[in-house]
């Protein structure tokens, strides 16, 4: 089985406070985009679990792919093993959900290949145990993530055809991003429903990251100077993105940022229907 594993951006991220388990309660709007990794799965006669990647450091038991596969193998005892090959294109620790997407796709792939016949509820419970945004990647499209981000409510598709992703080549952990953030007072909170406006969108993790990492601040400023309708940090970063009105303005800004040595990618969002057709999903 060969599967594409798609990235996401956050169109909105509001902090609502801290939960008893010390995680932050959030409202965030996820949107799938057409940047993807590719993962190949092959059943083996022996109950082995092997993982290869074009990036050597990802061939590790610490990889979420390996963790979910090992958990499913231990929990459900399939007769066959699995060999997994990951072709990585999504930048690492970049706010694009690459690791979570890989893990979610792996849950769905192994459910099929091992014929586990897990219910939707069982798949979602399994995914939520490995990260706050895995459940989004079981569904795709555009969705509200609440709680820790694991409670998914589907939203109308938002089709953005001219997205410029820019990554400065640094890795920022979610733990650091949340540590640097300020939780707003109740009267300062913004409703997630502004996500469609592209002018009132917020990411509460962005100010702290911009202060701590001037390179991120510079990228967002460059996107705005390049006439992006919206320029902001995705998730906990370090990837930033700009939404442009047309391809010409996007390409001009992309050329300027590439000349400064940044990784860039011209992307578009995926509708729910597109996501379902081009990747594994629960739909």
- Spatial contact of 192 and 12, defined as CB atoms under 8 Å apart: yes
> Residues 6 or more apart from 154 whose CB is under 8 A from it?
139, 141, 142, 143, 272
Closest CA to 14 of 137, 141, 176, 181: 181
> Which helix (DSSP H) or strand (DSSP E) does residue 39 occupy?
strand 24-44
Start-to-end CA distance of the chain, whole Å, equals 18
Greatest C-alpha distance within the chain: 59
HSE-CB at 123 with a 13 A cutoff on CA atoms is 24
> Which helix (DSSP H) or strand (DSSP E) does residue 222 occupy?
helix 214-225
Hey, which residues are catalytic here? 8, 133
């Amino acid at each position: 089985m060969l599967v594409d594993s798609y990235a996401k951006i956050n169109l909105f991220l509001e902090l609502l406070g801290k939960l008893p388990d010390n995680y932050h309660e959030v409202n965030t709007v996820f949107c799938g985009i057409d940047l993807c990794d590719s993962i190949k799965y092959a059943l083996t006669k022996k109950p082995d679990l092997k993982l290869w990647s074009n990036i050597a450091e990802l061939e590790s038991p610490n990889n979420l792919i390996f963790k979910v596969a090992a958990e499913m193998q231990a929990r459900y005892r399939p007769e066959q093993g699995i060999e997994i090959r990951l072709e990585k294109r999504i930048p690492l620790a970049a706010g694009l959900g690459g690791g979570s997407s890989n893990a979610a796709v792996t849950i769905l792939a192994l459910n099929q290949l091992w014929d586990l016949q897990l219910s939707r509820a069982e798949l979602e419970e399994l995914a939520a145990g490995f990260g706050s945004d895995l459940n989004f990647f079981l569904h795709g499209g555009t969705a509200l993530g609440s709680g820790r981000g694991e409670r998914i409510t589907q939203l109308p598709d938002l089709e953005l055809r001219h997205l410029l992703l820019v990554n400065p080549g640094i890795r920022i952990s979610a733990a650091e991003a949340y540590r640097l953030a300020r939780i707003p007072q109740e009267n300062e909170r913004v409703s997630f429903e502004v996500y469609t406006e592209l002018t009132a969108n917020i990411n509460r993790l962005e100010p702290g990251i911009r202060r701590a990492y001037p390179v991120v601040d510079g990228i967002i400023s460059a996107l705005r100077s390049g006439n992006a309708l919206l320029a902001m940090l995705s998730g906990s970063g370090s990837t930033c993105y700009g939404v442009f009105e047309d391809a010409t303005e996007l390409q001009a800004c992309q050329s300027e940022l590439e000349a400064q040595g940044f990784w860039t990618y011209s992307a578009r969002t995926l509708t729910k229907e597109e996501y379902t057709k081009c990747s594994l999903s629960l739909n």
